Amino acid sequence: MAKIAFLLAAALLLGLVSVSQAIQGTATFYTTYNPSACYGNQDNGRMIAAASDGLWAGGKICGTMFTVRTATIDLSREAFAAIANPVAGKVLIDYQQL
Report all structural domains of the chain as residue ranges with CATH numbers, in order of start. 19-97 (2.40.40.10)
> What confidence tens digit (pLDDT) does each residue in 3-61 have?
444 334 444 444 444 445 777 777 888 776 677 888 888 888 878 788 888 888 999 98
Taking alpha carbons only, the member of 58, 98, 55, 59 closest to residue 75 is 55
State if pTM tops 0.95: no
